[in-house]
Chain A
Amino acid sequence: MKNIWAICKKEIKTYFTSPIAYVAITVFLVLVGFFFHSLIWWFNSQSLQMSRNPYYFQQLNINQMVYSPLFHNISIILLFMIPFLTMRLFAEEKKMKTDELLYTAPISINQIILGKYLASLFVLLVMLLLTGILSIFTFAYGNPELSPILSGYLGLFLMGAAFMAVGIFFSSLTENQIIAAVLTFGTLLLFWVLNWASFSAVGIWKDVLNYVSYFQHFDDMTRGILDTTDVVYYLSFSFLGLFLTHTVIQSRRWR
């Protein structure tokens, strides 16, 4: 545990002493702010129009009309940002030959991987928490429901964690950070569009594609439905990424 913390601390420091984390977080917040603003603006104009009709006015729901699409937008922004946050983690150690220090220290490969993974989750957490500022406005001037927002954030975190695990895996494959980022991005994008493929698929394939694509699992969460299947899906996604990373590192050394 101590060893994991040592690695984790070092990685968090690296994120925040170099501009990486600041740039990533700033760009992320600007984009999220933009989407939030346009969604609120749209919601406002809808409210004005519907205020003339009491029946439709009842249908207005800030959770469904602002938060659900906002969460979807955030998830896409994460898909673009996360490859850049994970590309460094193992590729740079290899390039700088600092892996020799890590692998000859009395700590296990699992501890190294977990330390790095936790550091990346910390950055993700900071990013998501900072978007919480936006909710101050919605709670001050409206009355959204809290639980769908929380489950939406949980969904974002779990999905982001799965993305990070994929990124770490590709970072362990190469010593070139750009290759790691491109492979991560491509893979994440592919899993996203699998969802579209499922529309035209038939029979069992439809279900399989639907299950494998991570957006299907996310959709329920943004609407406040918390299903263990979805949570298990994301956790196993993360586990698979980390497990493959371990396999790659182990096999590299045996070759």
Chain B
Amino acid sequence: MIEVEHLTKKFGDLKAVQDLSFKVEKGKIWGLLGPNAAGKTTTMRILTGYLPATDGKATVADYDVFEQPNEVKKITGYLPENVPLYPEMTVSSYLNFVSEIKQIPTSKRKEAVNRTIEISGLGSVRKRLIKNISRGFKQRVGLAQALIHEPQILILDEPTTGLDPAQIIEIRQLIKSLKGERTIILSTHILAEVTQTCDGVVIINEGKLMASDSLEKLTASYEEREGIFIRLREGGKEKVSLFESISGVEKVSFEDDEFKIEWTKGKDIRDEITKITVDKELGLIEMRPLAMNIEDLYLKVISGGVDQ
């Protein structure tokens, strides 16, 4: 659905994006991850036709972004990092204006505005001036603006920045609910966001591609060991040797009242561990898998680069 090939963008001598290539399949949510100034916004601006690329090719739904920008713009909804709002307008008149410039036919305009207001939960503020509504609502108006013409592609630049935790969850739910019919690219530097909403991830740093794959494949390729965390009612550090004695266990550590038990990938010795804790009456109160979390993955990718 979205294909980027050897994309390069220079601002003078500064290379904001270098030889970037990735692909997003239809109906998926893909996260664009990277530290500040990694080139996320630039990449998105190129995809939406706001900026031309210096070199390379980008296609959105078989339309070339540089050759047929208008076709791309018609099927793309874009939420820039700075939500483009006119403070002097009311929410509904703003959305009406957007529906006009996005060329929704006059007969369907009213319906489109009402539908978007409902989807994005703006009913209570529709008659208010944009300058008087809260940050969370502004962000939603921004999202509504991107959704109003029912685009196949959604490009969201840091959709949850500046929101409180409850609002972040709401916006995430909203984004997730759009998945399926729409292909979504969202940029973020909040790592948890990627695990919670995205199917895949493109990690870029200093304009260069560091990794690009589905989330499972990516974590799998970086994991060497599997393991669990367990928490016991009885016993502390002295029990480490007890777990080490189980065959197959490679490493046991104790930190923050938790045991971290790791073994070579492929074996599963969770049964043995449970058995020991029950036999010795240690009082097993918590057990959870040690998944390679996105923070580790991110740091690894950013520092080490890709080996694929």
Binding site for B on A (CB under 8 A): 2-3, 6-7, 9-10, 13-14, 17-18, 96-108, 253-255
Residue of A nearest to B82 (CB): A97
**Which of B's residues lie within 8 Å of A, judged by CB?**
11, 45, 48-52, 70, 73-74, 76, 78, 80, 82, 84-89, 93, 97-98, 100-103, 145
Q: Does B97 lie within 8 Å of A253, measured CB to CB?
A: no
B102 in contact with A106 (CB, 8 Å): yes
CB contact between A14 and one of B11, B48, B86, B102 (< 8 Å): that residue: B86
Considering the complex, give the chain A residue whose CB is closest to the CB of B52. A254
Measured CA separation A100–B64 after assembly (Å): 20
Cross-interface CB contact of A104 among B11, B73, B88, B100, cutoff 8 Å: B73
New contact pairs (5) apart from A100-B78, A103-B50, A106-B102, CB-CB < 8 Å: A9-B97, A14-B88, A18-B88, A101-B84, A101-B98
| Residue numbers in B under 8 Å from A100 (CB-CB) | 45, 50, 78, 80, 82, 84
* Inter-chain contacts of B45 with A (CB < 8 A): 100
A106 and B50 within 8 A (CB): no
Judge whether B86 and A107 touch: CB under 8 Å: no
The answer to whether B80 and A253 touch across the interface, beta carbons within 8 angstroms, is no
**What is the bound-complex CA distance between A108 and B97, given in angstroms?**
16
With the chains together, A13 CA to B48 CA distance in Å? Answer: 28
CA gap between A2 and B97 in the complex, in Å: 12
B84 touches A96 (CB 8 A): yes
Give A250 Cβ to nearest chain B Cβ, in Å: 10
Given A18-B88, A98-B85, A104-B76, the answer on whether A253 and B103 have CB atoms closer than 8 Å is no
Q: Which B residues are CB-close (under 8 A) to A105?
A: 73, 98, 101-102
| Chain A contacts for B82, CB-based, 8 A | 97, 100
When the two chains form their complex, are residues B103 and A106 in contact, meaning their CB atoms are under 8 A apart? yes
Q: Are B86 and A97 in contact (CB under 8 A)?
A: no
Q: How far is the CA of A132 from the CA of B81 in the complex (A)?
A: 48
CB-defined contacts of B48 to chain A, threshold 8 Å: 104
CB nearest to A6 among chain B residues: B100
19 chain-A/chain-B pairs, Cβ below 8 angstroms: A3-B103, A6-B97, A6-B101, A10-B86, A13-B89, A14-B86, A97-B84, A98-B84, A100-B80, A100-B82, A101-B80, A101-B101, A102-B101, A103-B49, A104-B50, A104-B73, A104-B80, A253-B50, A254-B52
- The residues of B that contact A103 with a CB separation of less than 8 Å are 49-50
Which chain A positions have C-beta within 8 A of B98?
101, 105
B97 touches A10 (CB 8 A): yes
Complexed CA–CA distance, A96 and B97 (Å) = 17
Task: Determine if B101 and A7 form an interchain contact, defined as CB atoms under 8 angstroms apart.
Answer: yes
* B101: nearest chain-A partner, CB-CB: A105
